[in-house]
Amino acid sequence: MPEHLPNFIIIGSPRAGTTWIDNNIRCHPEIFMPKKKELHFFDRDFEKGLAYYHSYFDTVTNEKVIGEATPSYLHKPGIAQKIYDTLGKDIKIIVSLRHPVDRLYSRYWNAKSKFNENKNLTFEEKIKSKQEFISEGLYASHLKKYYELFPAENILVLLFDDLEEDPAKFLKKIYQFLKVDESYIAPLTNGKINAASSKPKLGKSILLNYSSRFFRKIHLYTLSQTLEKLNQKKLPKMDPKTRSWLIDEVYKESNNELEVLLGRNLDSWKK
């Protein structure tokens, strides 16, 4: 096996804070993350081989841990087994989950910001035509595939709720899990990153969006966060009937299973 390969992976879920996690932990001096987020090796480029994957980590120096973040790894079929076969059972897995209905709505707006084909599609039309968006939020069934292969102590499941409540504490859990210096304070801890409401086609200005991203890349974090906040536009609320249907008919059983799997009360996800 090549010398440098990940010893942890952030596997998802989409629109549940993975970009925020990636941007913050890559600032930690003991953590190496590739320049590119979302390598998609295990779900798109697996046939390119291990040498190709290794090329993303050839600039590792003396960092204590090495990771990557590809949110689709959680829900794409067969990925858990590929990760197990390639990186072994000792790889650490980080998962961030968000209220499945809120995540789905954010997924819709994110897609709307990127692709012209979504310009005139309502939320209801989009999720009808793109069933994968819905199935991504059936977390229990996706997670079980990982628990079947990897030791439970090697899987850290985080909730977006906790990120919103106390981002510093949220990050500290990750540092503790990875066994790196937990006293480190990331410069982006208290800022929103990758919010759908500030993206092109949705935010107030494309220039503000690109400027925010540019300043983040050159580590002017305070300025970047200020511009992202300025660029956010208030998005319309979901139709209450659609929300009730998703909660009561689509995600109820999965959320109940997840409560048991995690041993955590998820009453806030039932409304």
Query: CA–CA distance from 248 to each of 16, 148, 218 (Å)?
Result: 21, 28, 45
CATH class of 8-262: alpha beta
Half-sphere exposure of 25 (CA within 13 A, CB side): 35
Q: How far does the chain reach from its first CA to its final CA, in angstroms?
A: 47
State the chain's mean pLDDT as an integer.
90
- pLDDT tens column, 49-76: 999 999 999 999 999 999 999 999 999 9
Classify burial at 178, counting beta carbons within 10 Å of its beta carbon; exposed 0-12, middle 13-18, buried 19 or more: buried
Query: CA–CA distance from 129 to each of 79, 114, 185 (Å)?
Result: 24, 17, 42
3-state secondary structure of 173: helix
d(CA 158, CA 254): 17
pLDDT at site 195: 64
- pLDDT tens column, 212-261: 778 777 777 777 777 777 777 778 899 999 999 999 999 999 999 999 99
Query: CA–CA distance from 200 to each of 24, 119, 153, 194, 257 (Å)?
Result: 23, 12, 40, 11, 37
pLDDT at site 1: 41
- Residue 253's CB is within 10 A of a number of other CB atoms, namely 12
Low-confidence ranges of the chain (pLDDT < 50): 1-2
d(CA 179, CA 20): 20
